[in-house]
Amino acid sequence: MRLTLSIDLDAVSDDPTAEVGRILRYWAGAVGQMDLTEEAEHPLMNSTYTAEVGRIRLHRG
């Protein structure tokens, strides 16, 4: 299995460094609750949850 996190930095407004850090912290905490044996895909949202700025994917190969 492969875990892929993709963030469109052009879609992140204001402070990209802070937004990327927030996204990484959130998903780092969520990994413990994920089933890492099944494929899954989730949107990555901006801090106001008004726009998708990327995707996190658990997939084969």
SS3 track for 18-54: HHHHHHHHHHHHHHHHCCCCCCEEEEEECCCCCCEEE
The closest of 57, 50, 40 to 11, measured between CA atoms, is 50
Residue-wise pLDDT tens digits, 6-46? 999 999 988 999 999 999 999 999 999 999 999 999 999 99
Please say whether the beta carbons of 11 and 48 come within 8 A: no
The closest of 31, 29, 30, 7 to 19, measured between CA atoms, is 7
pLDDT at residue 14, rounded to an integer: 81
pLDDT at residue 48, rounded to an integer: 92
pLDDT surpasses 90 at 61: no
Vertex 18 angle, CA 13 and 23, to 5°:
90
pLDDT at residue 53, rounded to an integer: 97
Per-domain residue ranges of the chain? 2-59
